[in-house]
Amino acid sequence: MKIYFRPEINEAYGMGHIRRCILLADQLRNTGNIACFLIEEGNEKACQLVTDAGFEFFDLPSELMLKDEVSFYPEDCMTILLDLFHAGRLGSEQEINDYLSRLDDQRIKAVFIDALFNEAFRDDNCPRIPILIQPYYGAEQDIEPNTDHWLRGVDYAVMDKQFHQVSKKTIKNKAENLLLTFGGSDPQGITTNVMEAFSEDDLNLNIRVVLGPFFSDGLIGKAKKIAKKSSSAFEIIGPQETMVEQYGWADIVIGASSLSRYEFAAMGLPTIFTSIYKEHIKSSKIFASMGSSIYLGYYKDICKKDWRTSVSELKDNKELRTRMSRIGQKKVDGKGAARIINEILRILDSD
């Protein structure tokens, strides 16, 4: 069986989308089936990521409407996994509807990875979606979608196989190592805002700052400038092939409302996070209710004191950090990719 993957990735967002697709494609390959990617022409970074993972890709003409690109899909494209939808597409329901209708006309089965709540796609007028996946904690609370098969919940959270059966994290009496990581591009510039909050060395923390592969030159320069002038022990590191080593080093992580939160949980890493879009506020509050993290709110509403206070309180509270760590590893076992692919293959085989 051959499944095409259609992620979206650009300079502002999408790193999590393509990473998730590559992980699912790898799981599909492990079952003896074939994965191929559909990438917009000229997107060199996306093509490189896919090639490095050992997958072929098919170029699509750039700047087409979604419905129009279907005409350029390969003839053997009978099943397509879509990881296209995010805050930037809110208000584009008609475009999505037209696209799904076109897929239906061409008898291409869609596996649709959806967002949550006010970011989710809900349109009863569109063709019924064969398989819709919401791989997030709290998805069961969302409105039931127009689909034949609804895979939902934290059991389907997608991450690398390195997060399977991770040993329990050792929790120190006092946290010493703080990790800052805000995804592949951090268009909001949260990284440097948080660095400024910890530029004074009164908390006695070792702080590692991860600069993602799509960080702008300006953001990278600002981060390095803050690190150089600060009295805190900042260590700047570049893009990582895998974050497992960094998560293992950290006692606390500060991050965003991204897919990485599930990796933090699987690693038993106590987490403080912010929502990068207002549309993420509801899902962020629900994720925090799981118990593995502390949610501070929408990033524009957080001041430097909030970051410092939250870390200071968590740093000295071994009991709370231990509870957060154990809850995360109990709830997230890292096997979501295998569950999704096994379910997709079972459903497609039974049709």
pLDDT of residue 91: 53
Calculate mean pLDDT across residues 36-45: 90
pLDDT, one tens digit per residue, over 93-123 is 788 889 999 999 999 999 999 999 988 888 8
Nearest CA-CA partner of 209 in 179, 189, 230, 231: 179
Paired strand residues for 58: 38
DSSP per-residue codes, 139-175: GGGSPPPSEEEEEESGGG----GGGTTPPPPPPPSS-
Report whether pLDDT(67) > 60: yes
pLDDT at 112: 95
Average pLDDT, the chain: 92
Check residue 255 and report its DSSP letter.
Answer: E
Calpha distance 231→24 (Å, rounded): 43
Q: From CA 274, how far away is CA 277, in angstroms rounded?
A: 9
- Supply the pLDDT for residue 34: 97
pLDDT classification of 27: cutoffs 50, 70, 90: very high
Task: For residue 312, report the phi and psi dihedrals to the nearest 5 degrees.
Answer: -60, -45
Cβ contact 135:113 at 8 Å: yes
What does the pLDDT read at residue 45?
Answer: 83
Task: Label each residue of 166-189 as H, E or C.
Answer: CCCCCCCCCCCEEEEECCCCCCCC
* Structure confidence at residue 13 as a pLDDT band (50, 70, 90): low
The pLDDT of 158-184, averaged and rounded, is 92
Mean pLDDT of 305-310: 96
Share of the chain above pLDDT 70, in %: 96
* Average pLDDT for 2-10: 88
| pTM (2 d.p.) | 0.90
- pLDDT of res. 153: 97
Residue 12, pLDDT > 60, answer no
- Greater model confidence, 171 or 19: 171
The confidence band for 214, taking pLDDT boundaries of 50, 70 and 90, is: confident
Of 202 and 317, the structure prediction assigns the larger pLDDT to 317
Q: Bigger pLDDT: 166 or 73?
A: 73
Identify the pLDDT of residue 338.
Answer: 96
List domains and CATH numbers for the chain. Answer: 2-159+334-350 (3.40.50.11190), 162-331 (3.40.50.2000)
